Amino acid sequence: MESYAQPILNGILLGGLYAIIAIGMSTMFGIVRLVNLAHGDLMMLASFLSLTVMAWFGVNPLWTLFLVVPAMYFVGFFIQGFLLNRVLGKAMEPPLLVAFGLSIILQNLLLLIYTPDARSLKTTLAVQTIPMTNYVSVPVMYLVDFAAGIAVITVLYLFFQKTYMGRAIRAASDDEVAARLMGVNTKNIYAKAMGIAMMTAGFAGVLLGMTFTFYPHTGPQYLIIAFGVVVIGGLGSMKGTLAGGLILAIAQLLGAQIFGPGFQLFCGYVVLLIVLALRPQGIFGRV
């Protein structure tokens, strides 16, 4: 059991990062019924923006959040307001094609500007640990990821429940026609919702860059993780996103411990298939 304690602890802490990776995608699906195929590449955009801010000002990566997160809001607002809103309501394929095209453009743009070299947002937190026993220690960076995931999901939940804008977004999600009759500009609301979702992607991108190395083409890797999390937890559910992140991360790290590192992704998606077989709508999804 001692050999499993560390991967279980790491999986729980990493689950917070997985949740923040997926919460933006889950939110947009819950509001607009849109699967954003460019979600992972937009997180990579945030990682590289943070890298640029670090190079310009020589600050800790966490300080770059104050510039990257607002910038990602405007990126999301522009994408939804000027691209995706134009094709909403025209069947499922046009929004998917626009998002896929945006993904390809972002990957190649980042490749052109930053080259294909591996990058990371260097911080001393990445090598610090807190010893608990002779066999278990807490990686400080994973602890920061977990705390940030809980904080972002909590703030997002309170925003949707307690603010006028949050209630307007929920109203547009529940019944677009009724929301319009009540004076809600649904297109503008969708653009603001996308901006908020991209703010969470900005958080995720900076934390990912501090935790792992990244490349211009690693966006799809995190898109797949986001898909796994929201499918396990239930599309559109915030508590489901947190639960899905914990389950997927624990399954991956335990699988790597038991069967070897090559089986990490395999074990995570075996759990995904089991959840789909037993509860297709996800653990907290609505039928």
Model confidence over 12-32: pLDDT tens digits? 999 999 999 999 888 888 788
| Number of CB atoms found within 10 A of residue 75's CB | 20
Per-residue pLDDT, 20: 93
How many Cβ atoms are within 10 Å of 204's Cβ, its own excluded?
32
* pTM to 2 decimal places: 0.92
Helical H runs in the chain? 2-32, 39-57, 65-82, 93-114, 140-162, 164-174, 176-181, 186-211, 219-233, 238-259, 264-278
pLDDT of residue 238: 85
**Residue-number span of the structural domain to which 262 is assigned:** 2-278
User: CA–CA separation, 237 vs 280, rounded Å?
Assistant: 14
Structurally, the chain folds into a number of domains equal to: 1
**Degrees (nearest 5) of the Cα angle 279, 282, 285?**
115
Q: Is residue 30 part of a domain?
A: yes
> How many CB atoms within 10 Å of residue 6?
18
Output the domain CATH number for residue 25.
1.10.3470
DSSP conformational letter for 214:
B
Listed residue (31, 67, 37) closest to 49, CA to CA: 67
- The answer as to whether 286 is a domain residue is no
Q: Is residue 217 part of a domain?
A: yes
Structural domain contains residue 274: yes
Low-confidence ranges of the chain (pLDDT < 50): none
In a domain, 285, yes or no: no
Give the pLDDT score at 73.
96
Phi, psi of 214 (to 5 degrees): -145, 160
Domain assignment present for 284: no
Is 287 within a domain?
Answer: no
Residue 15: CB atoms within 10 Å: 27
Helix 2-32 to helix 39-57 angle (10° resolution) is 110
Looking at residue 2, what is its pLDDT?
67
Residue 283 lies in a domain: no
- Maximum CA pair distance of the chain? 63
The Cβ of residue 209 has, within 10 Å, a number of other Cβ atoms equal to: 27
